[in-house]
């Protein structure tokens, strides 16, 4: 069995005139990322690897989750392919992951994560909000055999407030 946890970056700030890759999290984004990550303590999910888009807002969200959940820095790999808004590059990345990885967390962007949630899971959503999290399990041994899985969890900040 393989499990993916997709986490959309927390709300970003538009206050500065900087590149899209450099945009930081807003105050609300930081608060929501802490709220979601601390709610996962009881889940007992231990990823074999954590992957993040190189965008500042995705990496910052990832750092908050890793710190709050006590995951070691060695698990993190920054992947250019995850800076994707359509989903095709992320899907290719997932299908090419090492088969020794059974549980992974991926931090990235919308619309890619909404599209992947709907394509790979068995629950349809309209939109994965900022800081939103989706866990999907697959009855496969190899990532290249990725097929429709079972959506185990969809968690949004408003679910916890």
Give the whole-angstrom CA distance, residue 26 versus residue 126. 23
Summarised one tens digit per residue, pLDDT across range 49-63 is: 999 999 999 999 999
Q: Does domain 2-10+22-160 have CATH number 3.40.50.1240?
A: yes
Per DSSP, the three-state class of 73 is: helix
Residue 89 among known ligand-binding residues: no
Q: Which residues of 112-127 are buried (b: 16+ CB within 10 A; e: fewer)?
A: bbbbbbbebbeeebee
pLDDT score, position 15? 81
pLDDT score, position 57? 97
Helix-helix angle 27-39:56-69, to 10 degrees: 40
Q: pLDDT averaged over the chain? A: 95
pLDDT score, position 44? 80
pLDDT score, position 14? 85
Spatial CA neighbour of 83 closest among 104, 113, 126, 63: 113
């Amino acid at each position: 069995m393989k499990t993916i946890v997709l986490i959309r970056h927390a709300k970003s700030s538009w206050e500065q005139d900087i590149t899209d890759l450099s945009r930081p999290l807003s105050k609300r984004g930081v608060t929501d990322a802490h709220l979601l990550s601390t709610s996962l303590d009881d889940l007992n999910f231990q990823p074999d690897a954590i992957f993040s888009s190189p965008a500042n807002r995705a990496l910052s969200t990832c750092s908050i989750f890793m710190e709050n959940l006590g995951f070691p820095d060695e698990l993190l790999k920054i992947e250019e392919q995850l800076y994707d808004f359509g989903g095709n590059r992320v899907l290719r990345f997932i299908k090419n992951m090492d088969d020794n990885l059974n549980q992974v967390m991926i931090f990235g962007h919308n619309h890619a994560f909404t599209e992947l949630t709907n394509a790979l899971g068995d629950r349809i959503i309209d939109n994965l909000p900022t800081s939103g999290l989706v866990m999907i399990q697959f009855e496969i041994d190899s990532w290249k055999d990725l097929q429709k899985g079972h959506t185990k969890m969809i968690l949004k900040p408003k679910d916890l407030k």
